[in-house]
């Protein structure tokens, strides 16, 4: 897994799918600003270890996901795609 040890971090991922999910957790609660192809989609809050929907797209295609994470203690375990 990947753990955010500072206050801010960024994950960038190129993907070919319609939907993107993550399994993640945070010891104190973390926020994620989600961008797809450079456009803000929404803000996501992460606390308990769980499966979170990051992108619920309209169509399958190639995209770039950027997650601007704030809150030390964020842990990212895996991505799933649909």
What tens digit of pLDDT does each residue of 24-40 get? 999 999 999 999 999 99
User: Cβ distance 20 to 52 under 8 Å?
Assistant: no
Query: What is the distance in angstroms between the CA of the first residue and the CA of the last residue of the chain?
Result: 21
- Environment class of 79 (CB within 10 Å of its CB; exposed 0-12, middle 13-18, buried 19+): middle
- pTM recorded for the entire structure: 0.94
pLDDT tens digits for 53-71?
Answer: 999 999 999 999 999 999 9
């Amino acid at each position: 897994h990947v753990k955010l040890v500072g206050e801010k971090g960024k994950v960038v991922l190129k993907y070919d799918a319609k939907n993107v999910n993550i399994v993640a957790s945070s010891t104190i609660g973390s926020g994620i600003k989600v961008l797809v192809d450079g456009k803000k989609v929404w803000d996501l809050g992460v606390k308990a270890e769980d499966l979170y929907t990051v992108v619920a797209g309209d169509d399958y295609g190639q995209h770039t996901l950027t997650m601007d994470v704030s809150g030390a203690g964020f842990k990212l375990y895996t991505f799933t795609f649909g």
